[in-house]
């Protein structure tokens, strides 16, 4: 199977803290791949590594058969025109209307006339159900609308790959349902490859073709949603069923509680 | 030994910071010119950074000129030299107060706004999203703001001095009775185009470069949190103000010191 993204034995540290210690995963072309894991294990970092915003200490990251870690700045920027990222906050430009936000990548990277740009922007906004909100400013949008407007901007240049960073975080059930459907339908209608980083297990497993669970600095489980649901590994069970304690500790590493209290009392 | 190590680390950090600031600036201003895209951004920033600073500059210039006129008159009249009020006001403004006070006001109004704006763009991932859209944030965000600051501050300083001189004239001639003809003619003969006006403009260009650079760097490197942006904004005003005053002494010594 053709892989659009392939990470092999990636090591990455942030200061003294090791984030990835030999991470490997692949994303097949045309599929939706979910990346799940507890908070703070570097899921967003993974997307930034794929996008070339961060460089690993070692290992290989290939996107569309290009080794991202070796690319010059110019070639990296060329490659980024084929990929898009939906940020957790939406990251809409606050000084531009919804229309101008979606038109932005087209104006930056193409020589299209304003008439053609208008048609494309309206088509993209129609796809996310926001054609009527084209003149609103980002501050006038709800969280769900901002996420959808950002999605329209992300597909403006018809990319091959979209990376979603926690697309369901902080959404009400209706917005969440709309975004879940949008990710699936855009992937099918535009022939995209999608990587969705999330810890909303039910939503993401309902649309993913394949999923990875990352914990302890590497991939601890992978498979189709059904395979993961049948997986007996303790960490997979804990994550999918949302149990407080298990291989992943609820408490941040600390000394014994009683000793700590005594120490405070006497200190 | 620890103290020595800490001192060493502080110095190394400071040098690394200057290196990063330089790299940011060079990344922003060096590259293939793209006037079709850059010009509208520059014009927009000239409005935000320059035009919107006009009110504070004009009002401050007027009052400082009026105070200079009043203070100058009360000193000069004791020596019967009130005819020299014109050159006193003009030279004070063109050589010192115009460039320095404009730069201080600019750091407080436009510099802090630049830091906060870029810091907020960083905190809300707008800079990252530009990068992911294959648009260099240094060229798109930093460069137009830098050029707007660099061009607008000397113009603001000239306006400050012109309004200040008029304020001095209003008080000196209109209120305190200094002869109007003497005020202007003595000023005209005493002010030298190169020594006074040009040196003032050179000072202003140096301040513009440094203040805008500091403001942009502090925003670009700030910690992307509300506390981080607040700290960066304060740091912009403090660092830029100290830099202005320190550089003013050096430039004055070089220009007028002997």
Across the range B80-104, mean pLDDT stands at: 92
CB contact under 8 A, A81 and B134: yes
Q: Does A51 touch chain B (CB under 8 A)?
A: yes
Res A233 pLDDT > 50: yes
Phi, psi of A211 (to 5 degrees): -140, 150
State residue A236's pLDDT score: 81
State whether residue A3 sits within 8 Å of chain B by CB.
no
d(CA A71, CA B80): 76
Average pLDDT over residues B98-117: 95
Q: Does pLDDT of B196 surpass 70?
A: yes
Q: How far apart are CA B26 and CA B22, in angstroms?
A: 6
The yes-or-no verdict on residue A133 having pLDDT over 50 is yes
Residue B14 lies in a domain: no
Per-residue pLDDT of B122-140, as tens digits, reads 999 899 999 999 899 999 9
CA-to-CA separations, B165 to A20, A37, B69, in angstroms, rounded = 65, 67, 9
User: What contacts 24+ positions apart, CB below 8 Å, involve B174-183?
Assistant: B176/B69, B176/B70, B176/B73, B176/B82, B178/B73, B178/B82, B178/B83, B178/B85, B178/B86, B179/B83, B182/B83, B182/B86, B183/B83, B183/B85, B183/B86
**B6 at A interface, C-beta within 8 A:** no
State whether B126 and A108 contact (CB < 8 Å): no
Find the farthest-apart pair of alpha carbons in chain B and give their distance in angstroms, rounded: 70
Give the end-to-end CA distance of chain A in Å, rounded to a whole number: 62
Instruction: Tell me what pLDDT residue A185 has.
Output: 87
Answer for the pair A156, A121: CB distance below 8 angstroms, yes or no. Answer: yes
Do the Cβ atoms of B128 and A53 come within 8 Å?
Answer: yes
* Per-residue confidence (pLDDT) for residue A267, from 0 to 100: 47
Determine which of A96-110, A247-261, B56-70, B109-123 has the lowest per-residue pLDDT on average.
A247-261
pLDDT tier at A253, thresholds 50, 70, 90: low
Residue B215 Cα to chain centre, angstroms: 11
A138 contacts on B by Cβ (under 8 Å): none
Residues 6 or more apart whose CB falls under 8 angstroms from that of B12 comprise: none
Predicted TM-score (pTM) of this structure: 0.86
Of residues A174 and A106, the one with the higher pLDDT is A106
Please judge whether B134 and A91 are an interchain contact, meaning their C-beta atoms are less than 8 angstroms apart.
no
Q: Does residue B167 form part of some domain?
A: yes
Residue B35 lies in a domain: no
Distance from CA of A193 to the nearest CA of B (A): 16
Mean per-residue pLDDT, B28-40: 85
Contacts of A48 in chain B (CB under 8 A): 128
Task: State the residue range of the domain holding B153.
Answer: 56-256
Task: Please list every residue in chain B whose beta carbon sits closer than 8 Å to the beta carbon of residue A72.
Answer: none
Mean pLDDT for all residues in chain B: 92
The pLDDT value given to residue B36: 83
Please indicate, yes or no, if residue B6 is contained in any of the structural domains.
no
Confirm if B191 and B91 have CB atoms less than 8 A apart.
yes
φ, ψ dihedrals at A93, nearest 5°: -75, 120
CB–CB contact A93 B131 (8 Å):
no
Chain A residues touching B136 at Cβ < 8 A: 77
Query: What ipTM does the predicted assembly reach?
Result: 0.83
Take residue B110 and report the two structure tokens written for it.
Answer: 């436009």
From the list A91, A105, A109, which residue is nearest B125 (CB)? A91
Residues of B within 8 A of A89 (CB-CB) are 124-125
Question: In angstroms, rounded to a whole number, what is the distance separating the alpha carbons of residues A50 and A30?
Answer: 17
pLDDT score for B157 = 96
Query: In which band, very low, low, confident or very high, does the pLDDT at B100 lie, cut at 50, 70 and 90?
Result: very high
Q: How many domains does chain B have?
A: 1
Q: Report CB contact under 8 Å: A53, B124.
A: no
CB B151 within 8 A of CB B93: no
Can you tell me the distance from the alpha carbon of A2 to that of B140, in angstroms, rounded to the nearest whole number? Answer: 36
Counting one residue from chain A and one from chain B, the pairs whose CB atoms sit within 8 A come to 42
Contact B132 A53 (CB under 8 A): yes
pLDDT tens digits, one per residue of A7-66: 999 999 888 888 888 889 999 998 999 998 877 788 888 999 999 999 999 999 999 988
Is residue B1 assigned to a domain? Answer: no
* CA pair distance A55, A66, nearest whole angstrom: 14
Tell me what the mean pLDDT of segment A73-91 comes to: 88
B37 with A108: Cβ contact below 8 A: yes
B7 lies in some domain: no
The answer to whether residue B5 neighbours chain A at the CB level (below 8 Å) is: no
> CB of B142 within 8 A of CB of B28?
yes
Residues 6 or more apart in contact with residue A127 via CB below 8 angstroms: A152, A155, A182, A186
Residues A98-129 pLDDT 10s: 999 999 999 988 889 999 999 999 999 998 88
| B85 pLDDT higher than 80 | yes
- SS3 sequence, chain A? CCEEEEEEEEEEEECCEEEEEEEEEEEECCCEEEEECCCCCCHHHHHHHHCCCCCCCEEEEEECCEEHHHCCHHHHHHHHCCEEEECCCCCCCCCCCHHHHHHHHHHHHCCCCHHHHHHHHHHHHHHCCCHHHCCCCHHHCCHHHHHHHHHHHHCCCCCCEEEEECCCCCCCHHHHHHHHHHHHHHHHHHCCEEEEECCCHHHHHHHCCEEEEEECCEEEEEECHHHHHCCCCHHHHHHHHCCCCCCCCCCCCCCCHHHHHHHHHHC
Residue A186 token pair: 């855009």
* A266 has pLDDT over 70: no
Is the Cβ pair B125, A80 closer than 8 Å?
no
Q: What is the pLDDT of residues A183-214, one digit of tens each?
A: 888 888 888 899 999 888 888 888 899 999 88
Mean pLDDT for B229-237 is 95
pLDDT of residue A129: 86
Contact residues on chain A for B126, CB-CB shorter than 8 A? 91-94
Is residue B72 in some structural domain? yes
Q: Tell if the CB–CB gap between B126 and A91 is shorter than 8 Å.
A: yes
Contact residues, B window 37-56, toward A, CB-based 8 Å cutoff: 37
Question: Looking at residue B34, what is its pLDDT?
Answer: 82
Taking only the tens place, the pLDDT of each residue in B142-177 is 999 999 999 999 999 999 999 999 999 999 998 888
DSSP B120: H
* B10, part of any domain: no
Residue A259 is predicted with a pLDDT of 78
pLDDT of residue B130: 92
CB contact under 8 A, B133 and A89: no
């Amino acid at each position: 199977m053709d892989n659009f993204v392939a990470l092999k034995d990636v090591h990455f540290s942030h200061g003294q803290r090791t984030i990835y210690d030999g991470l490997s995963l692949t994303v097949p072309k045309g599929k939706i791949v979910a990346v799940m894991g507890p908070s703070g294990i570097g899921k967003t970092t993974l997307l930034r590594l794929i996008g070339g915003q961060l460089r690993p200490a070692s290992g290989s990251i290939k996107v569309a058969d290009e080794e991202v870690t070796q690319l010059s700045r110019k070639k990296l920027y060329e490659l980024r025109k084929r990929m898009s990222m939906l940020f957790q906050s939406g990251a809409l430009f606050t000084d531009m209307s919804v229309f101008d936000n979606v038109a932005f990548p087209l104006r930056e990277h193409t020589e299209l006339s304003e008439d053609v740009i208008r048609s494309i922007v309206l088509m993209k906004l129609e796809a996310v159900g926001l054609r009527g909100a084209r003149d609103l400013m980002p501050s006038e949008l709800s969280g769900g609308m901002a996420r959808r407007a950002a999605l329209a901007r992300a597909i403006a240049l018809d990319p091959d790959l979209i990376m979603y960073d926690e697309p369901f975080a902080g959404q009400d059930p209706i917005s969440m349902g709309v975004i879940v459907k949008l990710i699936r339908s855009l992937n099918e209608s535009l022939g995209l490859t999608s990587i969705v980083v999330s810890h909303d297990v039910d939503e993401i497993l309902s649309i993913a073709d394949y999923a990875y669970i990352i914990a302890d600095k590497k991939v601890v489980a992978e498979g189709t949603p059904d395979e993961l649901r049948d997986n007996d590994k303790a960490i997979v069970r804990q994550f999918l069923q949302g149990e407080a304690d298990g291989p992943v500790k609820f408490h941040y590493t600390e000394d014994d509680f009683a000793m700590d209290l005594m120490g405070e009392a006497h200190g | 030994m620890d103290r020595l190590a800490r001192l060493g680390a502080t110095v190394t950090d400071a040098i690394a910071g200057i290196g990063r600031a330089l790299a940011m600036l060079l990344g922003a201003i060096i590259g293939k010119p793209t006037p079709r895209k850059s010009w509208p951004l520059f014009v927009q920033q000239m409005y935000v950074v320059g035009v919107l600073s006009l009110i504070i500059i004009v009002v401050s210039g007027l009052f400082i000129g009026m105070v200079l006129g009043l203070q100058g008159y009360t000193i000069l009249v004791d020596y019967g030299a009130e005819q020299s009020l014109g050159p006193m006001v003009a030279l004070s403004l063109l050589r010192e107060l115009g460039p320095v006070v404009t730069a201080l006001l600019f750091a407080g109004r436009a510099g802090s706004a630049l830091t906060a704006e870029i810091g907020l763009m960083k905190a809300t991932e707008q800079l990252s999203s530009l990068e992911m859209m294959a648009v260099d944030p240094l060229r798109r965000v930093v460069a137009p703001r830098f050029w707007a600051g660099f061009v607008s501050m000397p113009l603001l300083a000239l306006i400050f001095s012109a309004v200040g001189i008029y304020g001095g004239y209003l008080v000196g001639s209109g209120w305190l009775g200094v002869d109007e003809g003497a005020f202007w003619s003595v000023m005209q003969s005493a002010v030298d185009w190169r020594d006074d006006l040009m040196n003032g403009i050179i000072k202003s260009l140096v301040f513009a470069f440094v203040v805008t650079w500091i403001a942009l760097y502090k925003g670009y490197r700030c910690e992307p949190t509300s506390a981080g942006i607040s700290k960066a904004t304060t740091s912009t005003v403090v660092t830029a103000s100290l830099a202005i005053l320190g550089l003013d002494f050096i430039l004055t010594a070089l220009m007028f010191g002997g």
